[in-house]
């Protein structure tokens, strides 16, 4: 069945969030969130990589299917001829590891003695008791799977991009779309949901077929591109499996900022501070974000923390991303050069085809991956780099840092390259230009801070990466000299 045909008027659909009756009745302090709920505005900016896309892009809240055309996008004198997008999967369940920690914390609360059930000084119900009664609905099978909200993230993104770049996402181009995905289920499912969003764009009101029956699907798995970090021996050995690589993360966990939160939470929940650790505190904070992102619920876990706590916990998460995926180690970003070069190979081919007056073979190329795919690539390109490294000891100095993962790679985050052909160009060099968008907002070029670059200038700025970064060499472990003088 073809991906698109016909010219029906577009119909907007916004499925209402459904909340289980058991969750509604289990605790009076829980609530289905209103758009301007103070709990959302207070804690949501600090959830790091567990941030909802709409919290990083609040302009979408009134109508998440309507495109937002940035005024910086090139006007009609230049025609978009190719779009290459790297898209993080949509909202997901916690991992099995996170669920196990939450279960451990929940068990601590349920094991509290009768004397610990007393009401708080303010006369309200004890928060620890409330949390002990709060349904622990997460199960091991969920393990990072895409949730329905994540599918909605992708469908809506597809609708917006198809409306913003109608010529590229035309019916005629549907069969020429390329979709590449990580092998992880949440990424494969994100790609499928994106295609269903395109179907909705082409056929409003018509139920989509199976992705395998669409002309423009299904996504093709390529982990060497989308999970390059797993295929980089140097990264795996020196960072992924090296306990010392995340020294600053572990040091911050035992530092004064986290220890203050540990004591505060122990007092709030009325459990011995010795029973808690930074990992349990972090999973409690993330549970607030998961309940919000997945079910639209303000759970009592959110009441454990205030904004000062949230800023510290955000920094803990950002430290991990910085040292494991960002600027902490050179190999973090250099391991992504194969993906970067692949993007420019597609752009080069499109430029060459247009110069020969040929149709562009692949007008739209969509990659579905992870925060761990996007962060190294953005670091490789020089974005969100602070003057000083993030460390366990400069939290206060980094309060206004550029590297804030929740603002860069929330769920459904996307980095988009748009290649334009400008027919009225004065010189051949000006004929092809590029813009980049991060989360659908025009991203100033790292080398110029302009909103558009001549394609040749962009290639020249990144010539070292394009010509001198070879994954086979970058990812090779240093050879160890095992020779010995001993007999």
The CA distance from 409 to 155, in Å, is: 18
The CA distance from 483 to 53, in Å, is: 54
Q: Which of 365, 359, 384 is nearest to 374 (CA)?
A: 384
Instruction: Evaluate the omega torsion of the peptide bond into residue 218 and state whether it is cis, within 30 degrees of 0.
Output: yes
Angle at CA of residue 450, ends 447 and 454, nearest 5°: 75
Q: Which of 200, 41, 88 is nearest to 439 (CA)?
A: 88
- In which residue are the tokens 């993360």 written? 249
Distances (CA, A) of 7 to 1, 179, 354, 483: 17, 24, 28, 73
Q: What is the DSSP letter of 146?
A: B
Buried b / exposed e along 37-57 (16+ C-beta atoms within 10 A): bebbeebbbbbbbbbbbbbbb
Buried b / exposed e along 67-79 (16+ C-beta atoms within 10 A): beeeeebbeeebe
Q: What is the DSSP letter of 50?
A: G
The CA distance from 159 to 136, in Å, is: 35
SS3 annotation, 259-314: HHHHHHHHHHHCCCHHHCCHHHHHHHHHHHHHHHHHHCEECHHHHHCCHHHHHHHH
The CA distance from 74 to 72, in Å, is: 6
The H-or-E segment that residue 343 falls in is: helix 337-355
89 is catalytic: yes
The CA distance from 447 to 456, in Å, is: 13
The CA distance from 95 to 106, in Å, is: 16
468 burial (CB, 10 Å; 0-12 / 13-18 / 19+) is: exposed
* Backbone φ, ψ for residue 379 (5° rounding): -70, -40
- Answer yes or no: are the C-beta atoms of 131 and 301 closer than 8 Å: yes
What is the maximal distance between C-alpha atoms in the chain? Answer: 84
The H-or-E segment that residue 365 falls in is: strand 364-369
Q: Which tokens is 139 given?
A: 């199960």
Q: Give the catalytic positions in this structure.
A: 89
């Amino acid at each position: 069945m073809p991906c698109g045909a016909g010219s029906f008027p577009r119909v907007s659909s916004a499925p209402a969030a459904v909340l289980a009756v058991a969750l509604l009745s289990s605790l009076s302090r829980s609530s289905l969130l209103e758009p301007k709920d103070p709990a959302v505005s207070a804690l949501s900016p600090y959830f790091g990589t567990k941030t909802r896309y709409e919290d990083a892009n609040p302009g979408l809240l009134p109508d998440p299917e309507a495109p937002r055309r940035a005024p910086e996008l090139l006007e009609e004198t230049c025609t978009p001829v190719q779009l290459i997008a790297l898209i993080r999967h949509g909202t997901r369940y916690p991992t099995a590891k996170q669920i196990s920690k939450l279960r451990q914390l929940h068990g601590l609360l349920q094991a509290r003695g009768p004397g610990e059930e007393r009401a708080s000084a303010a006369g309200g119900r004890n928060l620890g008791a409330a949390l002990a009664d709060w349904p622990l609905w997460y199960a091991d099978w969920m393990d990072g799977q895409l949730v329905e909200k994540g599918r909605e993230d992708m469908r809506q993104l597809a609708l917006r991009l198809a409306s913003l770049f109608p010529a590229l996402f035309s019916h005629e181009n549907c069969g020429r779309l390329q979709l590449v995905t990580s092998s992880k289920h949440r990424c494969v499912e994100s790609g499928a949901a994106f295609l269903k969003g395109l179907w909705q764009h082409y056929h409003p009101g018509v139920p989509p077929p199976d992705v395998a029956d669409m002309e423009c699907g299904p996504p093709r798995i390529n982990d060497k591109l989308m999970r390059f970090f797993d295929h980089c021996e140097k990264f795996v050995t020196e960072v992924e499996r090296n306990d010392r690589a995340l020294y600053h993360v572990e040091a911050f966990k035992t530092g004064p900022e986290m220890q203050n939160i540990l004591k505060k939470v122990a007092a709030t929940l009325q459990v011995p501070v010795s029973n808690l650790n930074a990992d349990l505190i972090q999973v409690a904070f993330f549970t607030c974000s998961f309940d919000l992102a997945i079910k639209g619920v303000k759970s009592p876990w959110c009441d454990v923390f205030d904004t000062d706590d949230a800023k510290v916990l955000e920094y803990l998460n950002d430290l991990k991303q910085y040292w494991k995926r960002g600027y902490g180690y050179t190999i973090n970003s250099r391991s992504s050069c194969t993906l970067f070069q692949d993007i420019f190979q597609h752009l080069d081919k499109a430029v060459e085809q247009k110069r020969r007056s040929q149709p562009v073979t692949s007008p739209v190329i969509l990659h579905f991956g992870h925060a761990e795919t996007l962060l190294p690539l953005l670091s490789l390109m020089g974005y969100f780099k602070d003057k000083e490294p993030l460390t366990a000891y400069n939290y206060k100095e980094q309060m206004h840092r550029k590297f804030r993962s929740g603002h860069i790679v929330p769920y459904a985050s996307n980095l988009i390259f748009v290649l334009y052909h400008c027919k009225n160009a004065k010189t051949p060099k000006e004929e092809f230009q590029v813009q980049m968008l991060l989360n659908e907002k025009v991203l100033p070029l790292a080398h110029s801070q302009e909103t558009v670059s001549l394609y040749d200038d962009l290639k020249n700025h990144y010539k070292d990466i394009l010509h001198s970064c070879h994954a086979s060499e970058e990812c090779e472990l240093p050879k160890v000299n095992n020779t010995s003088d001993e007999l």
